[in-house]
């Protein structure tokens, strides 16, 4: 069974539906370039996936979809929340969920690319690209923290360090904003990928060539936390502190 997520988090950033759609369309386009079989045929997120309407990954179509699915009068403050998914034969079900454009000091904005399958496991080819997917998420959305993780790794890290779900942590890989990246200790067992906005990804899978075990991931978390690179997000949310 496959349950893997790549996500990114950031603090308040006021953005219109059209601006959010532009970032989202860029994300979907880059994902399709990475693996056309897995990242194509996007559909609106509904309970009946098989009959869910297809949704072009264009800025106009995504803008209309965002506005149609976000009718709350406080949307300028709480942000836009919606998602798209795939239902491609022989591939994991991919969901790209967003919560973006929020200006509240107490709500975290986020994007998550998740992979689910009852037939496939973590040996699926697309999962080897999680480091690249994290880079796409980091650069397209200008995030403050992010990671790629399997559910078992997420639960192990959460249990070891008693972390809330939104807390920065390292999974299969981790994205660190510029201030956090400057604190990374030497010698972590992974590939280092520099990103736009002076960020850093530490990819423990080394480009999908290795599968880090739980102890390797826990040790990376210990070392990054000891160095101050995984400090909790400041609340009220203030990007300048991260």
Confidence of residue 242 (pLDDT cuts 50, 70, 90): low
- Are the CB atoms for 206 and 173 separated by under 8 Å? no
Of 67-76, 124-133, 152-161, 229-238, least confident by mean pLDDT is: 229-238
| CA dihedral sign of residues 216, 221, 224, 230 | positive
Kindly report the three-state secondary structure assignment for every residue of the chain. CEEEEEEEEECCCCCCHHHHHHHHHHHHHHHHHHCCCCCCCCEECCCCHHHCCECCCCHHHHHHHHHHCCCCCCHHHHCEEEEEECCCCCCCEEEEEEEECCCCCCCCEEEEEEEEECCCCCCCHHHHHHHHHHHHHHHHHCCCEEEEEEHHHHHHHHHHHCCCCCCCCCCCEEEECHHHHCCCCCCCCCEEEECHHHCEEEECCCCCCCCCCHHHHHHHHHHHHHCCCCCCCCCCCCHHHC
Torsion of CA 176, 45, 15, 170, to 10 degrees: -10
Answer yes or no: is pLDDT of 238 > 70: no
The number of residues in the chain equals 242
Q: Write out the two tokens for 101.
A: 């454009």
Per-residue pLDDT tens over the stretch 173-204: 999 999 999 999 999 999 999 999 899 999 99
Per-residue pLDDT tens over the stretch 139-166: 999 998 999 999 999 999 999 999 988 8
Q: Write out the two tokens for 82.
A: 């919606």
Position 241 scores a pLDDT of: 53
What is the pLDDT of the chain when averaged over all its residues? 93
Place of tokens 């210990």: 222
pTM of the model: 0.94
Answer yes or no: is pLDDT of 2 > 90: yes
d(CA 224, CA 171): 12
């Amino acid at each position: 069974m496959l349950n893997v997520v790549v996500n990114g988090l950031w603090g308040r950033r006021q953005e219109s539906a059209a601006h959010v759609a532009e970032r989202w369309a860029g994300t979907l386009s880059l994902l399709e370039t990475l693996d056309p079989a897995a990242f194509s045929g996007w559909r609106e997120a509904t309970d009946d996936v098989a009959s869910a309407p297809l949704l072009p990954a264009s800025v106009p179509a995504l803008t209309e979809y965002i506005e149609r699915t976000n009718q709350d009068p406080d949307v300028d403050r709480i942000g836009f929340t919606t998602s798209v998914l795939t239902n491609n034969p022989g591939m994991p079900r991919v969901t790209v969920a967003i919560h973006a454009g929020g200006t509240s000091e107490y709500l975290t904005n986020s994007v998550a690319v998740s992979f689910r399958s009852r037939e496939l496991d973590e040996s699926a080819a697309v999962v080897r690209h999680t480091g690249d997917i994290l880079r796409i998420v980091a650069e397209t959305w200008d995030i403050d923290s992010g990671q790629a993780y399997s559910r078992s790794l997420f639960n192990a890290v959460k249990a070891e360090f008693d972390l809330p779900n939104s807390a920065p942590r390292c999974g299969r890989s981790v994205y660190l904003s510029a201030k956090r990246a400057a604190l990374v200790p030497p010698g972590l067992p992974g590939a280092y990928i520099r990103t736009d906005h002076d960020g850093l990804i530490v990819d423990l899978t080394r480009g999908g060539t290795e599968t880090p075990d739980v102890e390797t991931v826990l040790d990376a978390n210990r070392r990054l936390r000891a160095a101050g690179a995984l400090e909790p997000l400041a609340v009220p949310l203030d990007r300048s502190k991260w």
